[in-house]
């Protein structure tokens, strides 16, 4: 299936736009990533997404196919109110349906109660660098699939996720996931990966 297509079962309720306090901090980080072209639009498909936990089973995430927008507003974020990754189910509300990667985000939140932010970016160079290097890798499985959920759980089954909060998605070209206790800590992890790439490739 084409990237950007929602594959999980979901219950979506269209409501009024989300309150600004739910997405304002997330949007600041998202605009940084958009400027770096780590979130964006290519060949008619949006790529990259970002989320922030709101409760044990809830988080705010960018809406599906919003990658073409430099800035998002209350109409472009959705609230995931409940999820069951084992059942491949998600419930959300807002003005827009959630990102096609939402259940992957949900699975990451389930790894540790202290994970409060998840960032999914695309970069072919970083993706190749991580695949070739000593980074956690999923097997060659489709994005947003039940297989991806199983893979995320597999690679962290014997690892404290917050001690290694990053992995590369082998079967999802350019796809990289980072996460952390906060949006800023997730962003710092991403910058550390970028820094490692720069040093390794002798880029000035």
**Higher-confidence position of 189 and 144:** 189
Global confidence as pTM: 0.93
pLDDT at 1: 36
pLDDT at 43: 83
Distance, C-alpha 21 to centroid of its chain: 20
How large is the angle between the packed helices 183-200 and 124-132, nearest 10 degrees? Answer: 80
CB-CB contact of 190 with 121 (8 Å): yes
Q: By percentage, how much of the chain surpasses pLDDT 90?
A: 82
Q: What is the pLDDT of residues 120-148, one digit of tens each?
A: 999 999 999 999 999 999 999 988 888 99
CA-to-CA dists, residue 142 to 2, 8, 118, angstroms = 10, 12, 19
Domains recognised in the chain with CATH numbers? 9-200 (3.40.225.10)
């Amino acid at each position: 299936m084409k990237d950007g297509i929602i594959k999980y079962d979901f219950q979506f309720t269209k409501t009024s736009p989300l309150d600004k306090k739910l997405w304002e901090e997330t949007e600041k980080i998202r605009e940084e990533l958009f400027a770096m072209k780590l979130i964006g639009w290519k060949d008619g498909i949006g790529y990259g997404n970002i989320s922030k936990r709101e409760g044990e089973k809830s988080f705010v995430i960018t809406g599906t196919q919003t990658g073409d927008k430099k800035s998002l507003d209350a109409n472009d974020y959705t609230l995931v109110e409940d999820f069951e990754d084992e059942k491949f189910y998600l419930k959300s509300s807002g003005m827009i349906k959630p990102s096609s990667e939402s259940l992957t985000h949900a699975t990451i939140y389930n790894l540790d109660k202290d994970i409060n932010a998840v960032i999914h970016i695309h970069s072919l160079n970083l993706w190749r660098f991580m695949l070739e290097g000593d980074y956690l890798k999923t097997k060659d499985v489709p994005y947003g699939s039940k297989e991806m959920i199983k893979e995320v759980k597999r690679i962290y089954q014997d690892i404290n996720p917050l001690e290694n909060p990053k992995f590369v998605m082998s079967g999802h070209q350019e796809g990289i996931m980072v996460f952390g206790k906060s949006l800023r800590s997730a962003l710092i992890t991403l910058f550390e990966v970028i820094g490692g790439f720069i040093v390794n490739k002798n880029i000035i």
